[in-house]
Structure 1
Amino acid sequence: MGRTLPSITQSFLQEQASLARFRRALRREDQRALDDLLASARHHLAASAYASHLLPFEVMLLAMLVEEHKHVLRLRGEMDALRTQLSSRD
């Protein structure tokens, strides 16, 4: 018996291919931003297999949000460290 559902990697590649025309319509800097988001989603493909109850695009968006939130948390930490340094100088 064969598989009834495509693998998460196959679903990701299909979703990425469906965005090709949208990507081409974007400005270069926006294309790079989209590419970065897709790369962050690809980074979480193994974990995405466990979210099979979601639509593949929803899983991609969630993976992108995880990476973006990690980036925000890192920046917040850097800002707090800089604030601490500045306040200790006073």
Structure 2
Amino acid sequence: MGRTISPYSRQMLQIEENLSDFRRALRKADQEIFDDLIRVSKLQVQAGVMASLPYPIDSMLLSMMIQLKKELNELTEIKRKLTEETKL
């Protein structure tokens, strides 16, 4: 007998494929952030083995995470510049 559900890593690839149109509609900078988030999720395969298939809210949550990641990147850059200025 074969498996009744596909392996989690294959499900992750399917999710990534399902979101390819969503990704393509993002601005270039946001596509890079989206790709970073996908890379991070792939690093956590072991933690996500018990995850279920995505729901429609996934794209909404990804949009929110992309915005939060963008703001975090901006704050990190501001902090880096301030740290450099205080060293001078």
Identity %: 32
Counterpart Cα distance in 2 of 1:34 and 1:57: 16
Rg larger in 1 or in 2?
Answer: 1
Deviation of 1:30 after TM superposition, in Å, equals 0.2
Q: How many residues align?
A: 64
TM-score (norm: length of structure 2): 0.59
Q: Which has the higher contact order (CA 8 A, sep 6+)?
A: 2
The 8 Å contact of residues 8 and 56 in structure 1, kept in 2 or not, is answered as no
Q: Which runs of 5+ in 2 are unaligned?
A: 77-82, 84-88
TM-score (norm: length of structure 1): 0.58
What's the Cα RMSD here? Answer: 2.9
Q: Which runs of 5+ in 1 are unaligned?
A: 76-81, 83-90
The 8 Å contact of residues 8 and 48 in structure 1, kept in 2 or not, is answered as yes
Q: Which runs of 4+ in 1 moved over 4 A?
A: none
